[in-house]
């Protein structure tokens, strides 16, 4: 696999081109879905395909800390909120039925090396048209739907506990 990467690099002379905005947004959406997914779901999906490609690590899963910044009221001065552990991983992957390789990237909250590896593999696979369609249906859309449902459910639960204070009258006018 490493051999393959070297060959591709040696034969291509053009520098990386900025991806068009649409493609970038689509990839962002997929990467977010993979990053927020349940590790077990990814593992189960991966088990179906893992025989049909080989991949190599460009950067093995490694955990580090990322400083989160916040703004008071979402508009004030920036301040450091705290550090969050993040695992990142980069793989170079080549499906058996394709002549080219792709790089897959992942950044995962927490110290989760296996999750980072799987997410990076899927990110790479999703760059091949043949795989992208199938995976979009079987993995990405269910993941996004499940997350939307989860968020909506939580929003509903929270909404039920909402208290409106407009009934409080201070009585000064009487």
Partner 1 sequence: MSALPPLPGFSNPVDNAQAVFRALLTAFSHPGLPVSITLPPFSIPAGKFSSGMLALALALCDKDTPLWLDAAADTPETRRHLRFHCGAPFTAEPAEASFAFISRPEGMPRLREFNPGLAEYPDRSATLVISAELPPSQTPALELTGPGVKGNNLGVWQPAHVSGLPTWFWEDWAANSAAYPLGVDVVFADKNARGPVIRLLGLPRTSRVRLEEFPCM
State which residue, 41 or 56, has the beta carbon closest to partner 1. Answer: 56
State which residue, 62 or 83, has the beta carbon closest to partner 1. Answer: 62
Candidates 32, 39, 57, 146: give the one binding partner 1 (CB under 8 A).
57
CA separation, residue 138 to residues 34, 46, 97, 141 (Å)? 13, 11, 20, 7
| Residue with token string 């393959």 | 4
Specify burial of residue 140 (Cβ count, 10 A radius: 0-12, 13-18, 19+): buried
| Displacement of CA 135 from its chain's centroid (Å) | 14
Residues 138/45, Cβ–Cβ less than 8 Å: yes
State which residue, 60 or 150, has the beta carbon closest to partner 1. Answer: 60
Candidates 100, 137, 150, 153: give the one binding partner 1 (CB under 8 A).
100
Residues 1/92, Cβ–Cβ less than 8 Å: yes
Candidates 15, 40, 47, 72: give the one binding partner 1 (CB under 8 A).
15
The yes or no reply on residue 8 touching partner 1 (CB under 8 A) is yes
| Displacement of CA 114 from its chain's centroid (Å) | 14
The yes or no reply on residue 150 touching partner 1 (CB under 8 A) is no
Region class of 10: left (phi > 0), else alpha (psi between -120 and 50), else beta: alpha
Candidates 32, 46, 58, 144: give the one binding partner 1 (CB under 8 A).
58
Q: Is the dihedral of CA 50, 53, 59, 65 positive or negative?
A: negative
Candidates 29, 60, 137, 153: give the one binding partner 1 (CB under 8 A).
60
The yes or no reply on residue 5 touching partner 1 (CB under 8 A) is yes
Stretch 119-138 residues interacting with partner 1 (CB under 8 A)? 127
Candidates 2, 44, 68, 84: give the one binding partner 1 (CB under 8 A).
2
The yes or no reply on residue 12 touching partner 1 (CB under 8 A) is yes
Residue ranges that bind partner 1, judged by CB under 8 A? 2, 5-6, 8-10, 12-17, 56-60, 62, 92, 100-103, 127
């Amino acid at each position: 696999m490493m051999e393959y990467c070297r060959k591709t690099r040696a034969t291509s002379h053009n520098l990386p081109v900025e991806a068009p905005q649409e493609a970038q947004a689509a990839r962002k959406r997929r990467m977010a879905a993979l990053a927020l997914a349940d590790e077990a779901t990814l593992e189960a999906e991966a088990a179906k395909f893992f025989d049909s490609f080989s991949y190599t690590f460009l950067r093995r899963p490694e955990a580090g800390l990322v400083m989160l910044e916040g703004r008071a009221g979402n508009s004030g001065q920036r301040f450091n909120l705290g550090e969050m552990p993040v695992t990142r991983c980069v793989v170079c992957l080549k499906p058996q039925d394709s002549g080219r390789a792709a790089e897959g990237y992942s950044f995962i909250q927490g110290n989760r090396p296996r999750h980072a590896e799987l997410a990076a593999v899927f990110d790479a696979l999703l760059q091949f048209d043949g795989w992208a369609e199938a995976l979009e249906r079987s993995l990405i859309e269910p993941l996004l739907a499940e997350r939307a449902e989860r968020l909506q459910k939580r929003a509903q639960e929270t909404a039920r506990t909402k208290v409106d204070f407009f009934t409080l009258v201070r009585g000064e006018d009487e």
